[in-house]
Amino acid sequence: MSSHLSKQFDLELEGVRTRVLQMGGLVERQLMAAIDAFNTGNIEAMQEVVRTDAEVDAYEVGIDEDCTLLIARRQPAACDLRLVMAISRIVTDLERSGDKAAKIANKSRKLHRVSGQRIPRLSDLHHCGSLVAAMLQGALDSLARMDVDAARQVIRADKEIDAAFNSILRQLVTYMMEDPRTISEALDIIWIAKAIERVGDHATNIAENVIYTVSGIDVRHTGSAARKAEKA
């Protein structure tokens, strides 16, 4: 590849990576908005989260097209090819995270439309959401800097998310045992907590792809990643 074409390829590749980071920032905001709306009962905010999902989907389609064109026109090799392939997987994880945020908003809207709320909004759920948002941000930061150490920190943080989810689950089981009238509401909140936890799994996937891109080592299904796969 000539020097001119090489520079042009680098610019195109950097442009795609920038769009991935923009998409990731949008998903971060979407997730936190969904969790905040669950706590406050802000129906308008829930609807906005759902509307934003179309923008996230558009990012996924556009970036996938860009990746396909890069491979077809530039025929990248080695690390560049790993990055293009990793980006294609990363946008899938981001799109699925956006889907989870939209579903959290929809489930929250259902909960708040039902009169007679019996379970207080758990502070642990908001804490879990904040941890997951930080994981997602950390994964995207590791992509921006191509930082393997930062990516490994994200993967290690998944244990903390599991612990927070288990704490929420224990609290909700207690509510259901003490008052069977809370069962339906508790199950909906468990679904929301599980959706938040799954976004943490997607953040882990992103971090794993960063490690693969930089080092060429596939760390999926090893250690904590293997335990995560067993939950899916």
Residue 229, pLDDT score:
37
> In sequence order, which ranges of 75-122 are alpha helices (DSSP H)?
78-113
Query: What CATH superfamily is the domain 7-231?
Result: Phosphate transport system protein phou homolog 2; domain 2 (1.20.58.220)
Q: Of the given ranges (11-15, 186-190, 218-222), which has the lowest mean pLDDT? A: 218-222
pLDDT at 146 over 60: yes
Domain boundaries, the chain: 7-231
Q: CA 27, CA 49: separation in Å to the nearest integer?
A: 10
**In the numeric block, which tokens belong to residue 208?**
């794993």
- Using CB atoms within 10 A of its CB, is residue 217 exposed (0-12), middle (13-18) or buried (19+)? exposed
pLDDT tens-digit readout, 29-60: 999 999 999 988 899 999 999 999 999 999 99
Q: Is 194 helix (H, G, I), strand (E, B) or coil?
A: helix
pLDDT band of residue 169 (cuts 50, 70, 90) is very high
Please count the residues of the chain: 232
Predicted model pTM: 0.89
pLDDT band of residue 172 (cuts 50, 70, 90) is very high
pLDDT at 231 over 60: no
Cα–chain center distance at 38: 18
Residue 223, pLDDT score:
56
R_g (Cα) of the chain, nearest Å: 19
* Highest mean pLDDT, choosing among 3-12, 41-50, 65-74: 41-50
pLDDT at 144 over 70: yes
